Amino acid sequence: MILEPTSDAGPPQGARAPSGGSAAHEVANVGVRIALFDLDHTLIPIDSDYAWGEFTTARGWTDADEFKRQNDAFYEHYKAGTLDVNAYVRFATAAICRQGATNSIAAHADFMGAVVQKAIQPQALKLVQDHQAAGDRVVIVTATNEFVTRPIAQAFGVEDLIAVELERDTTPGGTGWYTGAIRGVPSFREGKVTRVEQWLAEQGLGWDTVHTTFYSDSMNDLPLLEKATVPVATNPDARLLAIAQARGWRILHLFS
């Protein structure tokens, strides 16, 4: 992995002043250090939700041509920063809603073995483990839904996951399975800041009492990058790379 402008690709050593975000804050008497990681194209070189859709389509759960057309369109909106997250999640979870819990969970176990484990690269796993060894609390913060990402977080040895939470059918006589709707605030764009704030509050913490490092590849994560003590543009897209260079943020090329 390659880190710019410094050569230290591990966790930062010692609290330091915020590094250029528009919402930069002073950190006084920091007792807790938190490493926040985006998931797709940051810790793994794939989009897990996109790959899951392709995997289940190969199983015959969706019409291949129509699913690819819609999936590709949503992905382009995501990259452009124009994604309707509620519409996307309804689309992305439609197959598991139809299939039910038993089939979906079994298929995801196969997906982990066939796709995800091959995408987890040693340098990414080491980066997470280095933060853990330094005593940092590690949290994965992703715009992909909890069903797809919980097993991936566990594969990285990360218990704290902030993902898009899914509503379940809890009506009398209901299935208890997912409905396709989002529960609460989706962890997407500005919603990532909101969800991290909620998580911090649950821990009895706040932005002014923690030192946060946030790794992300995407312009969609600019709000949380600007809020973090140390933003790290990780495998950044072109727009994020330009911002990181202009602001003097750390730039990490984790994958070749």
Of 38, 136, 217, 221, the catalytic one is 38
Give CA–CA dist 1/241, Å, rounded.
Answer: 16
With contact defined as beta carbons under 8 Å apart, do 187 and 142 qualify?
yes
Catalytic annotation on 40?
yes
Nearest to 248 by CA among 76, 90, 18, 88: 18
Identity of the amino acid at 175: T
Catalytic annotation on 38?
yes
* Beta pairing partners, 161: 140
In Å, how far from its chain's centre is CA 191? 12
Give CA–CA dist 228/232, Å, rounded.
Answer: 9
Give alpha helix (H) positions in the chain.
48-58, 64-80, 85-111, 117-119, 122-133, 146-155, 190-202, 222-227, 238-247
What letter would DSSP give residue 112?
A: I
Ramachandran angles phi, psi of 137, nearest 5°: -80, 125
Of 8, 40, 63, 84, the catalytic one is 40
* Cα maximum dimension of the chain: 58
- Residues annotated catalytic, as ranges: 38, 40
